[in-house]
Structure 1
Amino acid sequence: MSAAADGAEKYLARAGDRLDHDEQQLVRDHAARLRRVGPVPVGYIHGNNQPRNWLWSTSGLALVDFERSRPAAHVQDFVILATTQWADHPDREKAFLLSYGRELSDAERHALRCLSALDAVNCLAWGPDNGDAEVTARGRRTLDRLMKEDRP
């Protein structure tokens, strides 16, 4: 988790003026909170778990595109799902976690929220520079949602 938090300033610098002062502070606050999450389950993760990397068949689901695979906290594999598939569809999150075999712990939920803020700024740094409107929009939606939820 510390390594993920360490990336916040790099992403903020790359995003530049795509985030206002309050948004930058929100990202910094979440990076600081991530350092205090506590223990979460770790293992080998896919690193880019999203529908475009899923192959469906009548016998089940398979993942493809393992170039970002690495040892990490399991919850890191849920960030893209949480900021896309689950954001407006809690039923999808519930179904996923049912098949996962357990609910996320409080520490994992906290980490997922913090990691989502870091993902948002990374999307806003990478997306425009690479002409990826979908990634840029994901970052902006996530950041806007966090700003509303964290600021009354």
Structure 2
Amino acid sequence: MDRSLSTLTDTQRDLLREWLPDLHVVRDHSWGLVDNVVLEVESQGQRFVVKADGETNHHIARELDAHEQWLAPWVALGRAPRLVAGDRSAKIVVTEYLPGHLVLGSDAQRNPDTFRQAGELLAILHGQPAVIDASYEARENAKILQNLDKEHRISPELETELRGIVMGWPDEPVALVPTHGDWQPRNWLVHDGRISVIDFGRAALRSVLADWTRLEARDFREDPAREAAFVEGYGADPRESGAWFRERLREAINTAVWAHLIGDEPFEEQGHQMIARALNAS
């Protein structure tokens, strides 16, 4: 048995044998930081991607939600992979393989046209019917306070300040749309100059602003031309000051806490920088 497959459960391996006869692993794309497996595989002359969660991970359900409810416009354009098979209870999903290489760290990341295309694609996703949710802000605020209860390296004085800010935020209805949840170059592929999208393990209904925060944290800061191109592609700039501050600070706190818990020190440091920048801009 391939070592990459040995980490799967018996049920997951049985399903793969049923779905993809004569499967063999081409490449293991797993990060190793979280409890999941991402494999590029081949079966009967075709290439696929297999994603499977371990006991502590719950991303596959969101992957399947995205494929079943929101990705059809991208799939029709060839800009997202087609769902082949999946099983929520077994926590495994198979999609078609999209050609290309990651934008992250490539010349394409320095090309503003990449961000214009990314803006266009995001506008398509966000342009699907919205749902008005009167409890979204309260739920998100509660999550922040719960995260601050976890182990982290935010100073006690700053933690007290952050709790006060969050508890003072308004609770108002928000229009929720399908969001990717990790919208940045590490989840974009480029092939012959065309951008496509992968990894839907954080997809969910959220505010449109949720898909802007991670670009603001790094790529927009590195080159304003990327930001201008992204806004052009998206067609508008939805970053109203009050809501944008709340979304940025939530993302910053979540990043600092989560990265500490998984031991990713560079990402944790980015989270602390994001907190400082959000507070300075408030």
- For the superposition of Structure 1 and Structure 2, which TM-score range results when normalised by the shorter chain? 0.7 to 0.9
* Superposition deviation, residue 88 in structure 1: 4.5
Q: Which has the higher helix share?
A: 1
| Equivalent residues, number | 146
Which of 159, 162, 166 in structure 2 is aligned with 1:26? 162
Q: Under a length normalisation based on structure 2, what TM-score does the superposition of the two structures give?
A: 0.46
User: Does the 8 A contact of 2:177 with 2:207 survive in 1?
Assistant: yes
Aligned match of 1:148: 280
Q: Could you say what secondary structure the match of 2:196 adopts? A: strand
Which of 54, 71, 79 in structure 1 is aligned with 2:188? 54
Q: Could you say what secondary structure the match of 1:71 adopts? A: strand
Aligned match of 1:81: 215
Give distance in 2, aligned partners of 1:28 and 1:86.
Answer: 29
Moved more, 122-131 or 24-33: 24-33
Aligned match of 1:118: 250
Q: Which has the larger radius of gyration?
A: 2
Moved more, 96-105 or 47-56: 96-105
Ranges in structure 2 where 5+ consecutive residues have no aligned partner: 1-135
Cα offsets for 1:76-132 (capped at 9, x unmatched): 1111111121234333222111111112252xx432221211122212211122111
Aligned match of 1:5: 141
Q: How does 1:90-129 map to 2 (within 5 A)?
A: 90-104=224-238, 106=240, 109-129=241-261
* Superposition deviation, residue 45 in structure 1: 0.7
* Superposition deviation, residue 146 in structure 1: 2.7
User: Does the 8 A contact of 1:15 with 1:122 survive in 2?
Assistant: no
Q: Could you say what secondary structure the match of 2:169 adopts? A: helix
CA distance change for structure 1 residues 144 and 24 in 2, over 3 Å: closer, same or farther?
same
* Superposition deviation, residue 16 in structure 1: 4.5
Q: Percent identity?
A: 21
Q: Which has the higher strand share?
A: 2
Aligned match of 1:42: 176
Ranges in structure 1 where 5+ consecutive residues have no aligned partner: none
Which of 263, 270, 274 in structure 2 is aligned with 1:138? 270
Q: Could you say what secondary structure the match of 1:47 adopts? A: coil
Q: What RMSD, in angstroms, separates the aligned Cα atoms of the two structures?
A: 2.4
Q: Under a length normalisation based on structure 1, what TM-score does the superposition of the two structures give?
A: 0.80
Q: Could you say what secondary structure the match of 1:18 adopts? A: coil
The amino acid of 1:68's aligned partner reads R
CA distance change for structure 1 residues 34 and 65 in 2, over 3 Å: closer, same or farther?
farther
User: Does the 8 A contact of 2:152 with 2:261 survive in 1?
Assistant: no
User: Does the 8 A contact of 1:23 with 1:147 survive in 2?
Assistant: no
More relative contact order in 1 or in 2 (CA 8 Å, sep 6+)?
1
* Superposition deviation, residue 147 in structure 1: 3.6
Q: Could you say what secondary structure the match of 2:274 adopts? A: helix
Moved more, 131-140 or 63-72: 131-140
